[in-house]
Amino acid sequence: MNTSLHTTFRFGALLAASALVLAGCASTSTQPAADTATQAEAFAIADAWVKAADSGMSAAFGELENASGEDIVVVAASSEVSPMIELHETVADDAGEMVMQEIDGGFVIPAEGTSLLEPGGNHIMLMGLEQPMLAGEEVTFTLTFADDSTAEFTAPVKDYSGANENYVGDDSDMDDMDDMDDSDMDESDDHEDHDH
Ligand SMILES: [Cu+2]
């Protein structure tokens, strides 16, 4: 009688131990998510170009491509040719005039799709050029994506007579730009300042 009880208890304990081992196997065989690629890695650009300009504003264009199965989003752009670069869209204002403005939420490139930057549409806006951009030169840009990854591309400068939409920044933005221009002038023109 005693022996029989003892055996039953041992058998139960063995079953419980087996169940724990099985559970352990199940959890360790679960793989981590395989897709760890950044948005920048899925990005490419075709036919990139920049509009030639001596000073002030200009814009960059091209076809943004996304090789991944999920939307990727360009949230910012930078280049050493301009201290102030924005992502712009072109829209009709209340009077039906086409005007450009900063786009909300950046440039979305759909999964396995493209997004076109073109005169009269979305574009990378350069404001306050540091130096002239002449046809035949090349300009390097860095794009930042929604996941903080970055991608560089180089675009040739081309003469182009269009893409002259009005900019509808608010007044404070324009004041900031004026301040920036003034300080730049002060630095570069110090030796020519005969006011004192
Ligand atoms: Cu613009």
Could you please report the per-residue DSSP string of 158-195? Answer: E--S---PEE---HHHHHHHHHHHHHHHHHHTGGG---
Tell me the per-residue pLDDT of 127-180, one tens digit each, with 9 for 90 and over.
Answer: 999 899 999 999 999 999 999 999 999 999 999 987 777 776 543 344 344 334
Give burial (CB, 10 Å; 0-12/13-18/19+) of 41: middle
What's the distance, CA 37 to chain centroid? 15
Tell me the per-residue pLDDT of 4-63, one tens digit each, with 9 for 90 and over.
Answer: 444 444 544 444 544 444 444 444 444 444 457 999 999 999 999 999 999 999 999 999
Task: Evaluate whether 41 touches 149 at the Cβ level (below 8 Å).
Answer: yes
Task: For residue 41, report the distance from its CA to the centre of ligand 1, in Å.
Answer: 27
For the chain, which domains are there?
A: 40-160 (2.60.40.1890)
Going by the DSSP 8-state scheme, the letter that residue 147 receives in this structure is: T
Task: For residue 167, report the distance from its CA to the centre of ligand 1, in Å.
Answer: 6
| Predicted model pTM | 0.68
Task: For residue 100, report the distance from its CA to the centre of ligand 1, in Å.
Answer: 5
Task: For residue 125, report the distance from its CA to the centre of ligand 1, in Å.
Answer: 5
Task: For residue 126, report the distance from its CA to the centre of ligand 1, in Å.
Answer: 8
Nearest C-alpha neighbor of 119 from the set 77, 82, 85, 164: 164
Task: For residue 146, report the distance from its CA to the centre of ligand 1, in Å.
Answer: 21
